[in-house]
Every structure is written in structure tokens, then in C-alpha cells.
Amino acid sequence: MKLQRMNRRALALGALAVSGALALSACGSDDTGGSNGDETSNTQAAGNIECGDAKGQLQASGSSAQKNAIDAWVKQYTAACKNVQINYRPDGSGAGITAFTQGQTAFAGSDSALKPEEVEASKKICSGGQGIDLPMVGGPIAVGFNVPGVDTLVLDAATLAKIFDSKITNWNDKAIAALNPGAKLPDLKIQAFHRSDESGTTDNFTKYLKAAAPKDWKYEPGKSWEAEGGQSAQGSSGLAQQVKQVSGAISYFELSYAKGGIKTVDIKTEAAEPVKATIENATAAIGAAKVVGTGKDLALELDYTPSADGAYPIVLVTYEIVCDKGNKADTLPATKSFLNYIASEEGQGLLEQAGYAPMPDEIITKVRETISGLS
């Protein structure tokens, strides 16, 4: 495994040398794209990126959790395939799936697998086929906090459930104090923030709460926030910004958004020590995921209650959702070319640098095989 990671890092560094250092920003433009002003042949490749007959514009939208990964991929891909422009709107998993099933985009990003009714809706735009889930990006859902004077904070599922359900409302609550002996917890109101838009990150976070603290989280998991109270913000970047700015704030977002001094909670599990939100610890949990999709669908079942040492329990996998058959002829070459790149060893190799976990080899191998058969 270490050798595979070294190879990925080496490939990633080679790719970076082609187009300069990455400048990722969680609060950047909502669209990512590349210039298509070069009208020369588009059949050449830069590095290991095969452009083939790819050309034109690809419209895509969905998960904001993967925006920083998409930014990194698009930067490298469009530097090689200059006749392709990719516009990705990080407007949430729910909006992304809706746009895809309405035929507005070539593919969608979602932090939750398609539901049966969404698969059925996709058949209307996937002529002779249906939408399928391709797991492409993994990582921890970090719980960021802003508590003056507190640099390290340990919480468990039950306490998190009570915080986000407005049952624990002050930072010096005895339940928090019991998990953090010796910490100087201030007499400060908790400001809990959740997503205002439909979000796969919310879905995965609430799945964790439901699985790990069923007595304290009475709501069914889903893309929409169901608990009462708290405050809301748009997208992962919006939540991260609130945590950074608001004293007493706590929220959840993909680890790549925990920047600019945002501290993250260590999660107490059944393991001997609380687990930090790191790529390595998330990979340990994602490695135990099982493919539960049927046919060409590669939806995964995640374990939100791992007991192994160093396995971070709050993880997500972002899927690229595409038609298995019936893709639009004018966008199919670019769609396959781009998806082939991001699923490649080179594309996956960029993820750790951008704050994400690459897919395990046995899963990404199936993803590559599925992409090659898209039509």
C-alpha cells in the first residue's frame, strides 16, 4: 500500500510540474473551466491524460464536498485537452441529481448514491440505460469548531447528536467536560450550523449520528436537515466560513474545507483513543466499504461505527453519476475522457494533496472498467 501511495504522489508531482502549483480555494468561483482557444489537434496527451476526440463544453454540477478535487482535476485535464471546457457548479448533491435527471448536465456529483426513484427518473434522459454511481472521491467529514481557548476537543456520537439537536447548548456542559478533562471550556453558547441546501454531506453526517447514537438522534438520515434549531448556511464553504467567523460555532464539512486555522474535533469511538479527522484515518474506514450496487452501479455501503484503532467514523464517498447507456453523442467523448483521467492513477494521485482519500484499488479498478463501457 505504501508503494502504491508513493507512486500516486510521484505521478501527482509530475502532473503539477506541467501546469504549476495548485491554488485551491474552498470559497472560489462556482464554476471551473479551461480555455478552448487552442484549435490545434486534440488527439495528443499531456502526461498520461488521453484526450481522444474530446471537445466542446461539459456541464456538470452537484456535491460541493468534491469541489476542491474537481478544481485540481480540471486544472490538469484542461491543460492537456485544450479543446474541452468543464463547468462544474458545486450547488449540492440534491441539485446536482435534479439537474442530471432533467438532462441539463453530462454528469453529476453526489455524496449519496442514487435512490430508486432517482434511478427511475434518470431513465428518461439515459436512452436505453440509466444513471449509475461511480465512487471517485473519499474523505472524512470533519467537525469544525471555534471555541476560544480550546485547541483540542473530543466528542462522541451521542454528544454530537445532542449538540446538533439543540439538547446541549453551552460549551461548558457537563457532557462535553466529561470527554475533555482538564480543558478550559468557556461559558459560551453553542452555535451549531447545518446545510441549508440538500446535501450528501448532510446525508452521511446524519447516517453516522443515526448509526452511532440511535437513542439520541431520532431523525431519519437524508440530504435535507431535519432537526429543529441551529443555524444554516449554503454549501460546505458556507459552513466553514461560519465556523471561522463565529465564536462558539460548530459544523460539519469535508476535511478539505478545514483551512485558515479551523480546528477539528477528535471523535471518540470504541477504539482505545479518540480518532482525528485525517486522510489516513478515513482511508482505514473507507477500505472496509462494500459494493452493494447491482449491474454497472457501484454504490458502496459504508461502516459508520468502526471499532478499529485509527478508523475515523464520519466519512463520505462522492460519486460521479452518469448514464451507463444513452449518453449524449456530443458530450460522450469528453465525458469518458475526463472520467477516465480522474479515475486513473494520476488523477487519484492528486487527491491526498487536495485533502481527500483516493479510492481503494479494488474499487477504482471496477470504476475504470465501467467507464470504458459507457455509451
Q: What is the pLDDT of residues 64-107, one digit of tens each?
A: 889 999 999 999 999 999 999 999 999 999 999 999 999 999 99
Q: What is the pLDDT of residue 47?
A: 60
Q: Round to whole Å and give the CA distance between 7 and 90.
A: 30
Q: Round to whole Å and give the CA distance between 375 and 367.
A: 15
Q: What is the pLDDT of residue 248?
A: 98
Torsion of CA 288, 292, 298, 300, to 10 degrees: -40
Q: What is the pLDDT of residue 36?
A: 39
Half-sphere exposure of 356 (CA within 13 A, CB side): 27
Low-confidence ranges of the chain (pLDDT < 70): 1-47
Q: What is the pLDDT of residue 12?
A: 44
Q: Give residue 224's identity as a one-letter amino acid code.
A: S
3-state SS of the chain: helix, strand, coil percent to 5? 35, 20, 45
Q: What is the pTM of this model?
A: 0.77
C-alpha cell belonging to residue 149: 481557548
Question: Alpha helix locations (H) across the chain?
Answer: 2-19, 67-80, 93-101, 116-122, 157-164, 174-179, 200-212, 235-245, 279-286, 332-343, 345-349, 361-372
